[in-house]
A and B are shown apart, each in its own frame.
Chain A
Amino acid sequence: MENRVLVVDDEKEIRAFLNKALSRFGGFHVELAESGEEALHKLEKEPFDLVLTDLTMPKMDGLRLIAEIAKLKPETLTIMMTGHGSIDSALEAMKLGASDYIMKPLNLDEMILRLRKVLEERQRFVRLKDFADQLERTNQELRKIDSMKSEFVSVASHELRTPLAAIKNAVQLMLSGKTGEINENQKKFLSMAERNINRLTNILNDLLNLSRIESGKIELKFENIELKEIIELTASSLRPHADGKSIQIEVEIPEQLPAVYGDQEKIEQILTNLIGNAIKFTRDGGKILITAKPPPKEKDGWYGDRVALSVKDNGIGIPAEHLEAIFEKFHQVESSLHRSVSGTGLGLAITKGLVEAHQGKIWVQSEVGKGSTFTFTLPVSESDRRDPHFRFILDKEFQRAQENDAPLTLFLIQVSDEGGEVKETVLSRLEENVKQCLCRKADILVRREKEKILAALCEANLNGAQVIRQRIEEGIQNHPLETGGAPVLIKVGTATYPEEALSKEELFRLSKKRLGG
């Protein structure tokens, strides 16, 4: 397609020369204008790819024309023609939005080359931009589909639960003999039904878990955790399982292991999955070793402030070609040893999701016939970063409160600003701030985006509550929230059990009322 070029010059001879030269030798479609005003008029009526304008013209000069075009028709390219000695004007034109400039006297070859270059570049840019737009659209579509998928999984698994419960109850009733005696064959097949109902339930749970992880809806309850205890506990709970195959589970944890910051239940789930897998894929009489390593002394270690936990087995191992895909969902390695191993194919995907929700990493080393080692990292507890003195006071308060049949205190923190919208991120940052002020006996209870309210519940008597309240207020003052200009008002309100023996919801309402004052 011919490129449309508008030549603007107050000298008739130059216009005529450019018209001929550019259409004949450049292959452009050329139109002419003798002033900036006329050029704008023409641009208003029909589109041009490029405007080639003189600098000095009566009334509107080239610079003003370029500025106007940049404002009114930003998609139109502009090139300035200047006489020698006016390089400053040329640069000024570029600043105003011109793509290039050409020095007079004009060299025809150079001029055509420059015009083509500028136009080509623009075309490339347009193509790229189209491409980027298309990508963005596809991306949005995919995000929508993905959230629909998560929604579907969640609804489906809820809907399936009730009928599944009825089937399970019915089968268990018959198996228990309460509905009358059953013979061996009936028992065998009812047990089979029961096993498969349980399997179906596991799949449902895994699917739901994974969809929550993938949609970022997973709820983690962070606290400081001593790993040794959890590891020992999880290992013992799986030992009966391992004993069935005469597999030994050993735990080697160094005494000096720092506490980690994580969700206890989820960490147990990670360990259970990994140890369970190890049992599954290890031959009778094998061995499983669980170890933990403190963060490296020199802080530049690539996993930095993290504890690394490993579950090592001397089982059948994983073929090299599967190592990459093993954490993907529904990936299962075929193996002659384990045709009977039934899993959902989601365990490792969930495990990986849970580790990543803790800002950790997980990886595997394995050799066929020799065994596998799964290692994952967890962040070291934040307790050091908190004010130790404050922690001491709080811990003492909580202990005392507990001994005295602790009343509960609810803190309500409301963010508001003058008229404008408080961004969601502000609330998130506030939550981080407040979390730093609470100890492990307290937690963020509710976060109401709409009302811009954060509620935290603590076990504390009135004195303890005072301390925390003061601390929260100080924390907010010391770490002001940048909201992009708008002044933010933060109110902290409290209500205490059992002053009113109410549910947390009631307490929430009451505190909200108090916030008003």
Chain B
Amino acid sequence: MNPKKILIVDDEVDLVETIRFPLEMEGYHILVSYNGEDALNQARKENPDLILLDLMLPKLDGYKVCRLLKFDDRYKHIPILMLTAKTQEKDKTLGMETGANEYITKPFEMDDLLKKVKAYLNK
């Protein structure tokens, strides 16, 4: 069986690396985008099994990326976990409204994230 594909979207290179490493160790295939536009293109082209999505992104913000995927019948099945520094309740509400499956605020517990990723991929 092919390894599951995860798309990490964040404009912070270091943060991406700290997430990529443990996920690769779990055996996932990792794709990375550093801006929203590229994220959307990669998601459409590669059809990943799960997306970790930052909100404040260059070019296209995370909310829009999420909406555009979640309201497209071809991609709405892809679980999207938002990973963001935006902690306000209204940001979270908006995140869930755009169709995100999870809204996780930074900093987060790596173990929790790994568990959540695994749970969504096994669904």
Interface residues of A (CB under 8 A from B): 157-159, 161-170, 172-173, 176, 178-179, 197, 201, 205, 208, 212, 219, 221, 502-506
A158 surroundings in chain B (CB, below 8 A): 85-87
| B98 and A165 form a contact (CB under 8 A) | no
A98 and B12 alpha carbons, distance in the complex (Å) = 73
Instruction: Kindly list chain B residues whose C-beta atoms are within 8 Å of the C-beta of A167.
Output: 107
Residues of A within 8 A of B87 (CB): 157-158, 161, 205, 208
Does B88 make an interface contact (CB < 8 A)? yes
Distance (whole angstroms) from the CB of A500 to the closest CB of chain B:
11
- Top 10 nearest A-B pairs (CB, nearest first) are A169-B18, A161-B85, A165-B106, A165-B107, A166-B15, A168-B107, A166-B14, A172-B110, A219-B89, A161-B106
**Whole-angstrom distance between the alpha carbons of A172 and B15 in the complex?**
13
B25 within 8 A of A: yes
* B109 neighbours in A (Cβ, 8 Å): 172
Known: A169-B18, A219-B90. Is A503-B98 also a contact (CB below 8 A)?
yes
Complex-state Cα separation, A158 to B110, whole angstroms: 19
Which chain A residues border B21 with CB–CB below 8 Å? 173, 178-179
A29–B112 CA distance with the chains assembled, in angstroms = 86
B12 & A166 in contact (Cβ 8 Å cutoff) = yes
Partner of B71 from the list A205, A212, A503 (CB cut-off 8 Å) is A503
Distance in angstroms between the alpha carbons of A179 and B25 in the assembled complex: 10
* Chain B min CB distance to A199 (Å): 12
Smallest CB–CB gap between A335 and chain B, Å?
Answer: 31
Which residue of chain A lies nearest to B13 when distances are taken between CB atoms in the complex? A166
Give chain A's interface secondary structure class: helix
Which residues of A have CB within 8 Å of B106? 161-162, 164-165
Chain A neighbourhood of B111, CB < 8 A: 172
In the assembled complex, which residues on chain A have CB atoms less than 8 Å from the CB atom of B105?
Answer: 161
The distance in angstroms between the C-alpha atoms of A201 and B107, with both chains bound, is 8
Complex formed: what's the CA distance from A502 to B98 in Å? 10
Asked if B67 lies at the interface with its beta carbon under 8 angstroms from chain A, I say yes
Q: List 21 A-B contacts (CB under 8 A).
A: A158-B87, A161-B85, A162-B12, A162-B85, A162-B106, A165-B107, A165-B108, A166-B18, A168-B107, A169-B18, A169-B19, A169-B110, A170-B14, A172-B109, A179-B21, A197-B107, A208-B87, A503-B98, A503-B99, A504-B97, A505-B98
B residues in contact (CB < 8 Å) with A: 12, 14-15, 18-19, 21-22, 25, 67, 70-71, 85-90, 97-99, 105-111
B99 touches A178 (CB 8 A): no
Least CB distance, B91 to chain A, in whole angstroms: 10
Taking the closest CB of chain B, its distance from the CB of A408, in whole angstroms, is: 11
Question: Nearest chain A CB to B38's CB is how many angstroms away?
Answer: 19
A163 / chain B contacts, CB cutoff of 8 Å: 12, 14
Q: Which of A164, A197, A503 contacts B97 (CB 8 A)?
A: A503
Query: A178-B22, A503-B97 are contacts. A165–B90 as well, Cβ < 8 Å?
Result: no
Q: Quote the shortest CB–CB distance from A508 to chain B (angstroms).
A: 9
Chain A contacts for B70, CB-based, 8 A: 503
Q: Which of A164, A166, A170 has the most CB of B within 10 A?
A: A166
Instruction: Tell which of A158, A165, A197, A205 has the most Cβ of chain B within 10 Å.
Output: A165
Does B67 contact A503, Cβ atoms closer than 8 Å?
yes
Among A159, A161, A212, max chain B CB count under 10 A is at A161
Q: Give Cα A176 to B23, complex, Å.
A: 13
In whole angstroms, how far apart are the Cα atoms of A164 and B108 in the complex? Answer: 10
What's the Cα separation between A302 and B68 when bound, in Å?
Answer: 55
Closest Cβ neighbor of B21 among chain A residues: A173
For the complex formed, measure the closest distance between the CB of B43 and the CB atoms of chain A, giving whole angstroms.
18
The interface residues of chain A lying within 8 Å CB-to-CB of B107 are 161, 164-165, 167-169, 197, 201
Closest CB in chain A relative to B12 CB, distance in Å: 5
Distance of B74 from chain A, by nearest CB (Å): 15
Partner of A505, one of B18, B89, B97: B97
B15 touches A165 (CB 8 A): yes
